[in-house]
């Protein structure tokens, strides 16, 4: 990860690279076909444009670089609970963990609209949600795209303590470098029976909805079995 280039991704415009490319596109046909003074103008424009283009693309990361940064910082997050003595007897077999991931949105973070249309911030959280026979195990890592320390968090929630799970959507307006971003932030919330919550950001709502359906079903079955057992 090139921290300086990643910071420039958020702070620098691509305008310099576009101007450089435009100068080369204009100058090249003039250099080949134009006579006289236009030839000499093109001979000046082309190298200036080349330098501008090279500088514009070489001192800042691009969208692919940022995606690679996220991948490299989160690729070792997965844990096989069958190798963990605490969970080997409790993990639901043949049910892979749900992968929930997305950008964090709060004032003070760097922001930029990617070419794909998503609003990228300088913090990203990846979460694995493991199904247990008596609850869920949530393992998350929040990484920084600009060199700040990563934060790992593991939470086990017993079905005895879990009330429900839901998606919440919130429209936020965040100002970054005098530009206002309107963001539709989506988070997956786990709500305890005492009202406390644990939440993680969501980039793919379909995947999150699959997790909600599975966990809600398991919670209902667990409570039903507990109720039937208490009546015996």
Pair 185, 115 in one domain? yes
Separation of alpha carbons 191 and 210, rounded Å = 17
Pair 81, 54 in one domain? no
Domain extent at residue 49: 3-58
Pair 121, 22 in one domain? no
154 token code pair: 């593991």
Pair 153, 85 in one domain? yes
The pLDDT, as a whole number, for residue 20 is 60
Pair 42, 136 in one domain? no
Predicted TM-score (pTM) of this structure: 0.83
pLDDT tens, N- to C-terminus, the chain (232 residues): 688 889 888 887 766 566 666 666 776 776 666 676 766 676 776 676 665 555 555 667 889 999 999 999 999 999 999 999 999 999 999 899 999 999 999 999 999 999 889 999 999 999 999 999 999 999 999 999 998 889 999 999 999 999 999 999 999 999 998 899 999 999 999 999 999 999 999 999 999 999 999 999 999 999 999 888 877 6
DSSP codes of every residue in 76-115: T----GGG-TTTTTTBPTT-PPEEEEEE---TTS-EEE-T
Pair 20, 91 in one domain? no
Q: Is residue 207 part of a domain?
A: yes
Pair 98, 125 in one domain? yes
The pLDDT, as a whole number, for residue 113 is 92
* Averaged pLDDT of the chain: 88
Number of domains in the chain: 2
């Amino acid at each position: 990860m090139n921290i300086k280039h990643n910071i420039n991704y958020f702070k620098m415009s691509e305008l310099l690279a576009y101007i450089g490319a435009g100068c080369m596109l204009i100058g090249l046909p003039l250099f080949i076909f134009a006579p006289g003074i236009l030839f000499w103008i093109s001979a000046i424009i082309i190298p200036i444009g080349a330098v501008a283009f090279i500088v514009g693309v070489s001192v800042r990361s691009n969208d692919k670089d940022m995606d690679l940064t996220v991948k490299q910082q989160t690729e070792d997050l997965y844990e096989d609970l069958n190798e963990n003595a605490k969970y080997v007897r409790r993990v639901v077999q043949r049910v892979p963990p749900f992968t929930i991931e997305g950008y964090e949105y709060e004032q003070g973070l760097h922001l930029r609209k990617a070419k794909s249309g998503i609003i990228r911030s300088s913090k990203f959280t990846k979460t694995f949600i493991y199904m247990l026979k008596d609850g869920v195990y949530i393992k998350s890592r929040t990484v920084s795209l600009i060199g700040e320390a990563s934060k790992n968090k593991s939470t086990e929630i017993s079905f005895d303590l879990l009330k429900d799970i839901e998606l919440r959507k919130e429209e936020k307006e965040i100002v970054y470098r005098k530009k206002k971003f309107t963001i539709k932030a989506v988070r997956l919330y786990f709500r305890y029976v005492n009202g406390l919550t644990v939440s993680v950001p969501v980039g793919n709502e379909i995947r999150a909805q699959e997790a909600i359906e599975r966990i809600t079903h398991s919670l209902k079955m667990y409570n039903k079995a507990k109720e039937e057992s208490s009546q015996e």
